A and B are shown apart, each in its own frame.
Chain A
Amino acid sequence: MSTVNIETPRAPRSTGARRGVNLEKWGWIYMRASGVVLVVLIFGHLFVNLVAGEGVKAIDFAFVAGKWADPFWVVWDTALLWLALIHGANGMRTIVNDYASNALLRTIFKGALLVSTVALLTLGTLVIYTFEPCPVGAPAELLPSFCEAGRP
């Protein structure tokens, strides 16, 4: 008969499994580092879009075009997109790990999170950097005032 080998209970964990980059640790650090920056970025975003001036009533295509005419808001919104979506997706990953007890389901949920995050980061970044504030043929009253200058 084979003997069962029971390890000493207080023996340190094998060092083999601990080699390499500890991604869970970096995920933990990312949540805190991005969190601090997001507090500033999101409260700034909410103030400019919901509190200042006419608040939500002022938001339309011309409002967005006016903001993105300034590189400051382009950088602000790009940082917001990347930091917030990765922060959110990583938080959802934690929740999936906590509550989805079925291994297949876990893989499906986390795969869906990865796919949607990559798709939305790509889409959002392309939208910000290929934005056309004065599209040809659009009614002038929907466009920001600076579009008038280039028109005949």
Chain B
Amino acid sequence: MSEKSAGGLATAGRVNKYPLPRIRAPKAPAGTLYRGNTGMWSWVLHRITGVAIFFFLLVHILDTALVRVSPEAYNVVIESYKTPIMGLGELGLVVAIGFHALNGLRIILIDFWSVGPRYHKLMFVVVILLWVILLIGFTPRHLMHVFGG
């Protein structure tokens, strides 16, 4: 009776009838069911892009509120949005919004679509593809607006 439960742990010198299963530790940190896979990385990116968009939104509400101060005040601030550095910032904003929006739709499909959880990895691939297509369309157009004469 006790042979099985105590087996193998402190029985030096005796032949172990019930060896413990050998579990090899990975040499480098490896993905588990969740950690390190698409589930984790889509979640990480969703958080980072969400926080970035939130802080832009705070600033954007304040800068738009300047239309209530005077046309001059609004125009001065909005001119800074047309500079090269802010132009690149707007590209970054669209990069963040594009991922957050597409991955958000993926989350909704995982939650509400009956076979959503089964296709979550495929849907992540689709999200990345649509994201790249969106940016291929947006990036040259926006950079021409910002840097073009």
Contacts and interface: CB of A to CB of B under 8 A. Distances in A.
A107 to B, nearest CB: 19
Task: Label chain A's interface by main secondary structure.
Answer: helix
Contacts of A127: 64-65, 67-68
B78 A60 contact: yes
B120 to A, nearest CB: 16
Interface size class of B (residues with CB under 8 A): 35 or more
Contacts of B90: 50, 56
Interface residues of A, number: 42
A64 B73 CA distance: 13
Contact of A50 (B75, B108, B112, B142): B142
Contacts of A59: 78, 81-82
20 contacts: A35-B104, A35-B108, A36-B108, A39-B104, A50-B145, A54-B145, A56-B81, A56-B142, A57-B145, A60-B78, A61-B67, A61-B75, A62-B71, A64-B64, A81-B61, A91-B54, A92-B51, A127-B64, A131-B68, A142-B71
Interface of A: 32, 35-36, 38-39, 42-43, 46, 50-51, 54-57, 59-62, 64-65, 81, 84-85, 88-89, 91-92, 95, 116, 120, 123-124, 126-127, 130-132, 135, 138-139, 142-143
Given A50-B142, A55-B146, 18 more contacts: A35-B105, A51-B142, A60-B74, A60-B78, A61-B67, A64-B67, A64-B74, A81-B61, A88-B50, A88-B53, A91-B50, A92-B54, A95-B47, A95-B50, A95-B51, A123-B62, A124-B65, A127-B64
